[in-house]
Amino acid sequence: MTEPNDAGRGANVRFPPPFVFLGFALVGVGLRYAAMPIRFPVDRFVTISAGIAAIAAAFALLLAARNLFARTGQNPRPWTPTPELVLAGPYRYTRNPMYVGMTLLQIGLGLAFDNAWIVLLAPAALLVVHAIAVVPEERYLTAKFGADYTAYRARVRRYI
């Protein structure tokens, strides 16, 4: 977790993004019991089904992105060096499939457990991850890959 322009180091990300999502989900659980439960005003079958579908989609997205990193010999930890841009698979549609997947996972868990707090806190978790990880990663990748990354940014959306 170091300076972005150091050739042997990755982006200046100082906190693991998955823990941000975990933390916000746990806050949602706490709010359910400490403040008040907020349930979805639809049948439980609907929320459970939607939650399971969102969780399945999240895992598919996360695994696809993770497998691409493994195939190219890269580490998914954002503070490690990036030897090459990954532009295939889900990276053709979103520059941050792992963060989209983690957001979708949090939403799916909230739906499956009928806890709207968890769902409502998912955008806040993504906003924190945007500030602590996405912005430093983009700065690092722009400095390292220049025009190639700039062209990729112009072609592919940040999230969805």
Q: Which long-range contacts (CB under 8 A, 24 or more apart) does 150-155 make?
A: 152/85, 152/87, 152/95, 153/95
Residue 1 confidence (pLDDT) above 50 = no
List the domain boundaries for the chain: 17-155
So what's the pLDDT on residue 9? 80
With beta carbons less than 8 A apart as the criterion, state whether 117 and 39 touch: no
pLDDT in tens, 12-25: 999 999 999 999 99
Burial of residue 148, with CB atoms counted within 10 A of its CB: 0-12 exposed, 13-18 middle, 19 or more buried = middle
Residue 72 amino acid letter: T
pTM of the model: 0.91
Please state the rounded mean pLDDT for residues 92-111.
98
So what's the pLDDT on residue 145? 96
Q: Which of 71, 137, 155, 50 is nearest to 99 (CA)?
A: 137
Max mean pLDDT among 56-60, 76-80, 85-89 falls in 56-60
Residue 2 confidence (pLDDT) above 70 = no
